[in-house]
Structure 1
């Protein structure tokens, strides 16, 4: 009789508590984060700002947005640390575009009386869901061991006072395959930097072009099965 009573009580406990236990994960997961603001930017699905009070994530990790000093939105998957990574200027949810600034490239040319030649292509910092929008033209920076022979009309020498045999070429069309070998110069290291626009010819205002950012696009986010 005692055994039967124990089984009956266990059954009642299971019937009472099981629905509540199953409801907890659903409540924690929720239907995604609500729209939030960082500075002048409204962040909404598929992007999200973490809810530190709730202590949970509510979106794809690659789309997590941080808010530096409570007013600078940044793409966390770009490795943002305040000095490098991508800060976000604007997001077009309809066109799946976001305008970002590569802070490392920006700071490279923001040192008084000097500049640090960029080392990596901007695209090397992209997480998988993102790619450079093909509407962006490119700048190509060259760091050469000697003066470039017969530089063409699309190249100008860098204006940094400590730069020697360093050049920038404007107006290079975007190539999704990264086939820029036709722009290689002998004895020069080169990197590719996308920008929103350029004049299509040599332009000494490359610092401003980098500060104006460039466009990224993302693939549609599908719900996990």
Structure 2
């Protein structure tokens, strides 16, 4: 190869190497592909994708989305064409081993700044536990075999029942998202197992194509992510980074003319 072409090839490889980190390439966990804007949280010190979309691969087989209070949701499928991710409550797996009374402990919540949000495909099942008074609502179905409870426990398949927990003197109320199609089909299942099977089917979240911080970066041709800040706050501080062909920046990539894209 002529020396000039060899020099250009070296410069091109160097530019690419300084852009999107090699740890940000697509990865696999079991039979699932992890691609932008998701990323493996083991790819530290560079996190490649949206904040809150870091996934953990356990045993090279199980993909986990950590949530609030160290709660865990197992990722069953990611559809990058429709920007959908399907989750099952992994932390409640023991509760779903029962066939009579799924004893859930956590309400699913999404932070307002998250790129994730529930979809029209989702619905809710509300569970009341250890109620002192009988639920008078026609939508209430009494659960049997609930451990450690002297009072009655119920499941509601509609929306807006959480406030009634105080009316019935219930110890706890938990709202669980489920796929609406699964909930509508569960009328054909035996009463003892119908709720468990629907919960095991999980639910769907969509992720936004742009976040506020990532939007400018992506429009400028970059990939958003996070890295340890070496200049402000020390190496222990993680800050936003826009990965560009010429290397990471703090906001967005520059055009060939030296101007930033709007």
**TM-score normalised by the chain length of structure 2:** 0.60
Gaps of 5+ in 1: 1-19, 174-179
Distance (Å, rounded) in 1 between the aligned partners of 2:96 and 2:162: 26
Instruction: Determine which of 90, 105, 119 is the counterpart of 1:133.
Output: 119
CA-based RMSD: 3.5
- Tell me which residue corresponds to 2:106: 120
1:192 positional shift: 1.1
Confirm or deny: 8 A CA contact 1:123 1:131 kept in the other structure.
Answer: no
- Tell me which residue corresponds to 1:110: 97
Distance (Å, rounded) in 2 between the aligned partners of 1:208 and 1:148: 25
Q: Which moved more, 1:210-219 or 1:23-32?
A: 23-32
- Tell me which residue corresponds to 1:212: 201
Distance (Å, rounded) in 1 between the aligned partners of 2:100 and 2:156: 22
Superposed structure 1 runs of 4+ greater than 3 Å apart:
23-26, 28-32, 111-115, 124-127, 200-204
Instruction: Determine which of 67, 80, 88 is the counterpart of 2:75.
Output: 88
Instruction: Determine which of 50, 71, 85 is the counterpart of 1:60.
Output: 50
Aligned length, in residue pairs: 191
- The higher radius of gyration belongs to 1
Gaps of 5+ in 2: 1-10, 218-250, 253-262
1:28 positional shift: 6.3
1:31 positional shift: 8.3
Identify the structure with the greater strand proportion: 2
Instruction: Determine which of 194, 199, 202 is the counterpart of 2:177.
Output: 194
Distance (Å, rounded) in 2 between the aligned partners of 1:208 and 1:112: 9
Distance (Å, rounded) in 1 between the aligned partners of 2:132 and 2:200: 28
Distance (Å, rounded) in 2 between the aligned partners of 1:51 and 1:201: 39
Distance (Å, rounded) in 2 between the aligned partners of 1:181 and 1:114: 19
Instruction: Determine which of 11, 18, 30 is the counterpart of 1:39.
Output: 30
Distance (Å, rounded) in 2 between the aligned partners of 1:56 and 1:192: 36
Confirm or deny: 8 A CA contact 1:157 1:166 kept in the other structure.
Answer: yes
Helix, strand or coil: the match of 1:198?
helix
Distance (Å, rounded) in 2 between the aligned partners of 1:89 and 1:168: 25
Confirm or deny: 8 A CA contact 1:122 1:194 kept in the other structure.
Answer: yes
The change in CA–CA distance for 1:125 and 1:109 in structure 2 (over 3 A counts) is farther
- Tell me which residue corresponds to 1:184: 164
Q: Deviations over 1:132-152 (max 9, x none)?
A: 223211100012432424341
Confirm or deny: 8 A CA contact 1:155 1:201 kept in the other structure.
Answer: no
The change in CA–CA distance for 1:144 and 1:201 in structure 2 (over 3 A counts) is farther
Helix, strand or coil: the match of 2:176?
strand
